[in-house]
Amino acid sequence: MDNTMVSFYNIILCLSNALDLIAPEVGNHHKQVAYLAFRLAESIKLPAEQQKEIFFSALLHDIGALSRKERLELIENEPFNVNNHAFKGAKLLNEFKALLNISKIVKFHHLPWGNGEGTAYMGEKVPMASHLIHLADRTCAKIKPSRNVISQVSNILSLINKDKGTIFEPDLVDSLFELGKKDYIWMDLVSDSPIDKIQNIGMFNTVVLDIDDIVDITSIFSKIIDFRSRFTVCHSAGVAVVAEKLAEHMNFSSLECKMMLIAGYLHDLGKIAIDDSILEKRGKLSKDEFNEIRMHTYYTYQLLDRIPEFNTIKIWASYHHEKLNGMGYPFSINAGDITLGSRIMAVADIFTAITEDRPYRKGMDDEQAVQVLDKMVADGSIDGKVVKVLTANIKSINELRLSAQQAAYIKYKNFLDTPW
């Protein structure tokens, strides 16, 4: 990273884009809700800072729904356990101090107004922003992409109005009706990227994160990646610390070591696009299923490409299945174009995968792991110098991996434990 400061907006947009890959059929939903929620906040003249919080909260509002089935259910209706994903999402966001207010908004974004009872939940004050996002969410969910959107407006607003006071806050419904008189609002909502229609989008770029903030927020990314499957609930946490420690042993600078930690957290980001059934399959993958898995590194590259300051991190993270003999994927890069950071990440990923326990098998011991790695060095897949460093420090590195993965597993159990 040429600059240790990264735009908060770019980070959140990358995360939102990743979440939308879980269910491509409704891939624009977060951006639609963010656009409409912002327009509502703007129309009722909320302060600029609150408008920004609402916008970011809307971009991440379904962050706790990690399966395709759950995402689709949330769009189509509000199931009886609808608050579970909101509470889980809040737990994830609550780990990062810059997201605390957003966490509170996300936590209650499906709570009904209940004729005023929705101002509080179990003694906790509910932000009005949560009700605003709830209204925007349900409005966007009623748009049918197969029909002309302007032709749907009357029916959508009529359905919303039926729940005025019971589900939705009345004044916000009135504001939606006023806003809904403008055709361009609806046409923006069904455009390719609704948030790009916000002319003063630059106001969201004013917050920047330093390297330690980025480490914290990308650790949230890693949980979203790994928590989708019980087989990989701790994987990225292990890869990240192994890659960081290898970089340290290979004389990377302190900043570069933190960048390697971030790249480890993000290396499997593209797996968000892989169907749950493939991630959860116990047996051998079919050829088509394996080809689906192969695509995850490409998605990682494309998602991180939206963050200009992450160019080096993007390369380290997304090239972890490239091979020195040119037989890797997705770019089939030759050894001369594979940087040391990417070589470290490849070794860290393999080592973590073969030593960690999975529900269906026990991880390898140190001796077995070294044999596998040495064989891959011999066939020209991975870097022998990196493997040599790992072998020389295998006991301490493996202990570090185990400790990081045990901590990640505790957080996974906490994530599953709802309500909050």
Are 318 and 228 members of one domain?
Answer: yes
Going residue by residue through the chain (420 aa), what tens digit of pLDDT does each one get? 545 678 899 999 999 999 988 887 777 899 999 999 999 999 999 999 999 999 999 999 999 887 777 767 766 666 656 678 899 899 999 888 889 999 999 999 999 999 999 999 999 999 999 999 999 999 999 999 999 999 999 999 999 999 999 999 999 999 999 999 999 999 999 999 999 999 877 677 777 899 999 999 999 999 999 988 888 889 999 999 999 999 999 999 999 999 999 999 999 999 999 988 898 888 888 999 999 999 999 999 999 999 999 999 999 999 999 999 999 999 999 999 999 999 999 999 999 999 998 877 899 999 999 999 999 999 999 999 999 999 999 999 999 999 999 999 998 888 877 555
Are 200 and 230 members of one domain?
Answer: no
Are 297 and 408 members of one domain?
Answer: yes
The whole-angstrom separation of Cα 43 and Cα 185 is: 12
In a domain, 214, yes or no: no
Are 173 and 232 members of one domain?
Answer: no
In a domain, 354, yes or no: yes
In a domain, 1, yes or no: no
Q: What is the pLDDT of residue 419?
A: 54
Q: Taking Cα atoms as reference points, which of 181, 139, 158 lies closest to residue 35? A: 139
Domain limits at 361? 220-416
10 Å CB burial of residue 27 (0-12, 13-18, 19+) is middle
| Adjacent-strand bridge partners of 361 | 358
Are 326 and 191 members of one domain?
Answer: no
> 138: number of CA atoms within 13 Å, CB side?
28
Find where tokens 């980001």 sit: 269
Q: Select from 176, 208, 240 the last residue of a domain.
A: 208
Are 253 and 147 members of one domain?
Answer: no
Are 372 and 296 members of one domain?
Answer: yes
| Helix, strand, coil distribution of the chain in percent, nearest 5 | 65, 5, 30
Q: If residue 124 lies in a helix (H) or strand (E), which one and from where to where?
A: strand 124-125
In a domain, 408, yes or no: yes
Q: Which residues, other chains included, contact 378 with Cβ-Cβ below 8 Å and sequence gap of 6+?
A: none
Number of domains in the chain: 2
Let me know the angle formed at the C-alpha of 64 by 310 and 165, rounded to the nearest 5 degrees: 125
CATH label of the domain that carries residue 394: 1.10.3210.10
In a domain, 351, yes or no: yes
Are 185 and 237 members of one domain?
Answer: no
In a domain, 87, yes or no: yes
Q: Select from 157, 186, 208 the last residue of a domain.
A: 208
3-state DSSP assignment of residue 288: helix
CB 348, CB 243: distance < 8 Å:
yes
Strand-pair category, 124-125 with 6-7: unpaired
Q: What is the pLDDT of residue 228?
A: 86
Strand-pair category, 124-125 with 208-209: unpaired
Are 251 and 154 members of one domain?
Answer: no
Dihedrals φ, ψ of 164, to 5°?
-65, 125
Are 197 and 253 members of one domain?
Answer: no
Are 156 and 55 members of one domain?
Answer: yes
Q: What is the pLDDT of residue 300?
A: 97
Q: What is the pLDDT of residue 25?
A: 74
Are 201 and 244 members of one domain?
Answer: no
Q: Select from 208, 242, 267 the last residue of a domain.
A: 208
Strand-pair category, 124-125 with 120-121: antiparallel
Q: What is the pLDDT of residue 333?
A: 94
Q: What is the pLDDT of residue 109?
A: 96
Q: Which residues, other chains included, contact 183 with Cβ-Cβ below 8 Å and sequence gap of 6+?
A: 150
